């Protein structure tokens, strides 16, 4: 294993910033699940990391606010595999995917006005409706 998780060309997370805890995994698995600590909990402090530049870090923290605690620590749990190593790899992959998506800045929405065709269509339907109402109000109808 390398000493850093590659997120993109500019950002790689040093493994010494990751805190990893193993615990017993729940669910199916027979007696094996009761004796081995295969569930992995991966913690990474985004607020104090040196992997993300200062200006970019605030945006990442804002986009991942729902996934972090008050201290800016993100927690990823993996227990889908029966091996501790595979759960660790799965947790690291999920972290990389999450950070990569948080690093991409969404394009700003440009306001658009109604098209000419939609304006004409709206005015035409208004004219049609007005004509219907005008015909109702004519003297012929009341006789």
Residues paired with residue 14 on neighbouring β-strands, in sequence order: 4
| Domain assignment of residue 71, yes or no | yes
Is 12:92 a contact under the CB 8 Å cutoff? Answer: no
pLDDT in tens, the chain (143 residues): 568 778 887 787 888 888 888 887 776 666 666 677 788 898 988 888 888 888 888 888 888 888 888 888 888 898 888 888 899 899 989 988 988 888 887 889 999 999 999 999 999 999 999 999 988 887 665 55
| Domain assignment of residue 133, yes or no | no
Distances (CA, A) of 67 to 7, 34, 72, 99, 139: 18, 29, 9, 11, 69
| Domain assignment of residue 138, yes or no | no
Integer Cα distance of 53 and 56 in angstroms: 5
Structural domain count of the chain: 1
Dihedral, 133, 135, 137, 139 alpha carbons, nearest 10: 180
Name the residue among 55, 46, 32 with its Cα closest to residue 76. 46
| Domain assignment of residue 92, yes or no | yes
Domain that holds residue 42: 4-103
Which CATH number belongs to the domain containing residue 31 in this structure?
3.30.160.20
């Amino acid at each position: 294993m390398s000493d850093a998780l590659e997120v993109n060309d500019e950002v790689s997370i040093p493994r010494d910033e990751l805190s990893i805890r193993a615990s017993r995994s729940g669910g199916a698995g027979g007696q094996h699940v009761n004796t081995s600590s295969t569930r992995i909990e991966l913690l990474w402090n985004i607020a104090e990391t040196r992997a993300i530049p200062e200006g970019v870090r605030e945006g990442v923290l804002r986009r991942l606010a729902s996934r972090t605690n008050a201290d800016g620590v993100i927690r990823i749990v993996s227990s889908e595999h029966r091996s501790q190593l595979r759960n660790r790899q799965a947790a690291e992959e999920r972290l990389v995917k999450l950070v990569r998506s948080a690093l991409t800045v969404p394009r700003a929405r440009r306001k658009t006005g109604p098209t000419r065709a939609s304006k004409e269509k709206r005015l035409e339907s208004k004219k049609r409706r007005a004509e219907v109402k005008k015909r109702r109000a004519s003297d012929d109808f009341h006789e």
